[in-house]
Chains A and B, each alone.
Chain A
């Protein structure tokens, strides 16, 4: 189709190039500089969507971010498909593919449109009043139907092909909005030497100036004035101008979120380049110059395609060179519509009438329209429109009654005045103030270091906007510690102030039960719905919003809020400031999830932590598991081995000869200072004073309320130095807890804490031949059983590398843990492994480690404990230093209520009958497996394994009063059966500990 509504000249589009695009499968053409909306209008297309509830045909209503109707799905393929984009914001590019939404089978013939016939039966909130019976009908029938009718576009079905970027920025002054006020504010601030960021949602800066063709500024036309100002800004050096960038959120302490579109406007971008960038800007001062949004008038059938906001129509003519219609009826309460009527008139459209609600409109714009011979009808209202897929006629009448006059038309323009865009200011928690002259909320007392300027602050003329921007820029610079040099005021001509406005439903003299005047176009909320909500007792502005869904559509009330307030005010007989307004929340306009997710995807979603031995394990074909953020080798399968078989083999090797295990993920904290032992005395349940240098002790750490939070082996290197190990997941938590006590409760202690987790690789060598394996590699230490007993340590060299060698065992076998600097971890590991070959050394993973320790009844904090276990519950009462006056958690354990408790869950072992059944971890013990629910639960299985050593299954469990029930038989309920289990001591293997010595 040719661009039959494209004007021959004018506008900021490039007629020398033609862009081809498709909408609902049909081919169209437009030009660079167009939006999808302007290009569609140039082709005579108004019908672009269907409304949410009644599926009413809808056309392009606005020219900006506030568009409620023209929501389209855009994307060249599924990986680039985005639903619900406003056609008024989609920058046209060659090859653009767009489709309408919420219709079946086609936009012109939508089955859902049948709903509109039943509108009287489905007023606001109807769904709360029906579909309750029968109960299953709601889930099976009604809810799926409602869901299918609702929604707008469709979600993309495959993964997004794009990537996203993020950055932080700091500036002295952030100016939001590059319209006349914003540009002046940025210039003023920049001239003071302040670092300035100026952002604007549109592709080019200028805001309202981009559609202004009448005014002259300092004697120049608007376009050249704008070009000069922007060149000054660019020359100012410390100014960052961000087009296509929406300031979507205002966060505490002057942090503003910006969403910058980088590639959506470029046809077929390279997916390796970011599609958009999220900015987190910390600004000393903020200038909010976000403009104002024109309001619709709420008259009967005000929603037909071809009905448009007056200023939007003017923008299509002057900025895009498009005539939105040839025969227009204008309905207004504001001067702005006269400027629009004049622009259309000059572009060749017929103005059938200008119906003005005001009895006596006056002012420069009105006079200009009068002088141009436009038919002005003061004191008139619009009582209805006709036309299904496009408006064909409108009826106007005196607002005080009388017969209506039906005027044929293909376009209806409306203006109810302007609503300042106070969203960001309100998000910042600044107080809004109602200005009765403007009939609008404007920024009042700020809560953050910010100020509003221009139309957002309520100015009504270009001259005032420029001056207010200048003043705001200067004030912001001053507040940020700069001084802006004085500047000359700009001489503005031919840009008269535009005033007026109307809130609420316009008079129409018809049976109000039979007509619908839409307030929220997208959600199909009518004036009548607002009245109904009030009648049903929903008096709070938030209740009205939630009951009617007014303002909850994707435009978030940008067009609807004030008219709803107008109706509420009239019906409740209360002034608007008493009613208040709904809360403004981020984002100002919708922002893709991808912007927020940014780089955090795939491997970067959360960095993986690898030990120095990770690559070796990978080369050996290890299977890994996630433990916190670490990747740990779980087992080392040989060709064709299952996990079960590999673990059995690894277990046999450790018990029979020797195994090697990467324990590098253990948390490590170096505790140093004259009071190090005293500090440990106060933190851990154990006594530390008498621990000799060169010895190790198993420590248990409690929370202050007495429950086990961590454990680990602690070595004393000297009187003043301890090497503490923690659980893998607990390291940061333990260090933070220690710092808390050291800094805030025990500041008198002379102690330093250093995290050394990543400084050491830890190589565990376990098994009867462990000493044989490492002995040839150790220099500078006697590691014989006599010189280095179990639970001792020595500083020496292993394979030539300085090491802290621990004689320690988490398997029950003779064992060593070699701590070497992380960079040498792999080299030492390989040296030990090589040395071990003649002893048949076997690498084992966490699963084998779990089995071996379970055979010995060693607990794992977080598996045998769950935040509600005391040391005694898990059999660790022996560790408590009884003579100590105090340690973290002691006072809580000593509470009388605690001491008197019976039936606490205690750690026991379980033998299944028969012995080849491995229980499920997390399964529960019951007294009577045949009792119907609720069962009497005695406890649960915390660990369950096949014990290769014992040739049968073993399990650990927490069982109520378990220690007194050892020998008794209960049942563990699995999903399909109950397994008899006998309670045993939790140490299954080598109770005497003889094997620790090899």
Chain B
């Protein structure tokens, strides 16, 4: 069970959180301006990195906030200095 640093509440066990997947995926402000291929990418394509990875978590059973985290997906170690 990971120990996840919520920027608002501090370190809490993984079971308080919901995973939010890859961070920094941005929904286009005007989706009409985006072509089909790019929208399909947005919907389905993921970085799925092995190693350093920025991802989203939500402190679902806590403050309820989404936040970003930098975690190494090979070691599961979290960069505790770089959260936000």
Chain B residues closer than 8 Å to A886, beta-carbon distance: 30-32
Q: Which B residue's beta carbon lies closest to that of A897?
A: B36
Contact with A along B1-36 (1 / 0, CB 8 A): 111000000000100001010000011001110101
Residue of A nearest to B80 (CB): A253
B48 located at the interface, meaning its Cβ lies under 8 Å from any Cβ of chain A in the complex: no
State the CA gap A575–B26 with chains docked (Å).
Answer: 52
Pick the contact of A892: B20, B32, B43, B65 (CB < 8 A). Answer: B43
Among A280, A282, A705, A739, the residue within 8 A (CB) of B58 is A739
Which secondary structure characterizes the binding site on chain A?
mixed
Q: Collect the chain A residues with CB atoms within 8 Å of residue B60's CB.
A: 736
- Considering only CB atoms, which chain A residue lies closest to B20 in the complex? A740
Of all chain B residues, the one with the shortest Cβ separation from A254 is B3
Measured between C-beta atoms, what is the minimum distance from B32 to chain A in Å?
7
Mask for A887-904, Cβ within 8 A of B = 1, else 0?
000111011110000000
Which chain A residues lie closer than 8 Å to B3 at the CB level? 252-255, 282
**CA–CA, A293 to B18, complex, Å?**
42
Decide: A895 and B75 in contact? CB cutoff 8 A: no
- Choose among B2, B34, B39, B43 the residue that contacts A253 (Cβ–Cβ < 8 A): B2
User: Are B27 and A745 interface neighbours, CB within 8 A?
Assistant: yes
Rounded to whole Å, the gap between the CB of B28 and the closest CB of chain A is 8
- B79 within 8 A of partner (CB): no
A758 within 8 A of B: no
B49-61 contact mask (Cβ, 8 Å, vs A): 1 or 0: 0000000101010
Cβ contact of B31, chosen from A447, A740, A891, A896, cutoff 8 A: A891
Beyond A739-B66, A891-B31, A891-B32, whether A280 also contacts B20 by CB under 8 A is no
Check if B13 sits within 8 Å of A891, measured CB to CB.
no
Find chain A residues with CB under 8 A from B27 CB.
704, 745
- Residues of the A chain whose Cβ atoms lie less than 8 Å from the Cβ of B78: 253
Is B66 a contact partner of A744 (Cβ separation < 8 A)? yes
> Would you call B64 an interface residue if the criterion is a C-beta within 8 Å of the partner chain's C-beta atoms?
yes
Task: Name the residue on A nearest B21 (C-beta).
Answer: A740
> Taking the nearest CB of chain A, how far is it from the CB of B51, in angstroms?
15
Once the chains are docked, how many angstroms separate the CA of A519 from the CA of B30?
68
Most buried by B among A447, A740, A890: A740
Tell me whether B58 and A892 are in contact (CB under 8 A). Answer: no
Q: B75 contacts A447, CB within 8 Å?
A: yes
> Which residue of the partner chain B has the closest CB to A706?
B43
A426 to chain B, nearest CB (A): 14
Q: Are B66 and A705 interface neighbours, CB within 8 A? A: no
Question: Assuming the A-B contacts A251-B1, A886-B32, A895-B39, are A282 and B65 also in contact, with contact meaning beta carbons closer than 8 angstroms in the complex?
Answer: no
Nearest-CB residue, chain A, relative to B38: A891
* Known A-B contacts A704-B43, A736-B58; A280 and B30 likewise in contact (beta carbons under 8 Å): no
Q: Is A15 an interface residue (CB 8 A)?
A: no
Whether A885 contacts B30 in the complex (CB less than 8 A), given A740-B20, A744-B56, comes out as: yes
The CA-CA distance from A370 to B8 in the complex, in Å, is: 70
A743 within 8 A of B: yes
Given A282-B13, A739-B58, is A252 in contact with B66 using a C-beta cutoff of 8 Å? no
Which residues of A have CB within 8 Å of B64?
A: 739
Binary B-proximity of A21-58 (CB < 8 A = 1, otherwise 0) = 00000000000000000000000000000000000000
User: Nearest Cβ distance between residue A856 and chain B, in whole angstroms?
Assistant: 34
Residue A358 at the chain B interface, CB threshold 8 Å: no
Q: Does residue A406 face the partner (Cβ distance < 8 Å to B)?
A: no
List of B residues within 8 angstroms of A282 by Cβ = 3, 13
A894 to B, closest residue via Cβ? B32
Which residue of the partner chain, among A429, A704, A739, contacts B75 with CB atoms under 8 Å?
Answer: A429
Bound-state Cα–Cα, A203 to B36, Å: 67
The reply to whether A255 and B1 form a contact with Cβ atoms under 8 Å apart is: yes
Q: Bound state CA distance, A251 and B2, in angstroms?
A: 8
Q: Is the CB of A743 within 8 A of B2?
A: no
Closest A residue, CB atoms, query B65: A743
Chain B: CB-nearest residue to A886: B31
CA separation between A894 and B77, bound complex, in Å? 41
Once the chains are docked, how many angstroms separate the CA of A795 from the CA of B34? 44
Please determine whether A705 and B2 come into contact, CB atoms closer than 8 angstroms: no
A736-B60, A896-B36 given; A705·B43 CB < 8 A: yes
CB of A758 to closest CB in B, whole Å: 15
Alpha-carbon distance A705/B58, docked complex (angstroms): 22
Contacts of B77 in A (CB 8 A): 252, 447
Please name all residues of chain B whose beta carbon is closer than 8 Å to the beta carbon of A253 when the two chains form the complex: 1-3, 76, 78
Interface contact B31-A736, CB-CB below 8 Å? no
CA distance A280 to B31 in the complex (A): 47
**Smallest Cβ distance from A897 to chain B, in angstroms?**
7
> How far, in whole Å, are A739 and B66 apart by their CA atoms in the complex?
8
Which 9 A/B pairs are nearest by Cβ-Cβ distance?
A891-B31, A253-B3, A252-B76, A743-B66, A745-B27, A895-B36, A705-B43, A891-B39, A744-B66
Known: A252-B2, A745-B27. 6 other contacts (CB 8 A): A253-B3, A254-B3, A282-B13, A740-B58, A743-B66, A744-B66
Chain A interface residues (CB < 8 Å from chain B): 251-255, 280, 282, 429, 447, 704-705, 736, 739-740, 743-745, 885-886, 890-892, 894-897
For this complex, 18 residue pairs linking A to B, each with C-beta atoms less than 8 Å apart, are: A252-B77, A253-B2, A253-B3, A253-B76, A255-B1, A280-B1, A282-B13, A429-B75, A447-B75, A705-B43, A736-B58, A736-B60, A740-B58, A740-B66, A743-B65, A885-B30, A891-B39, A896-B36
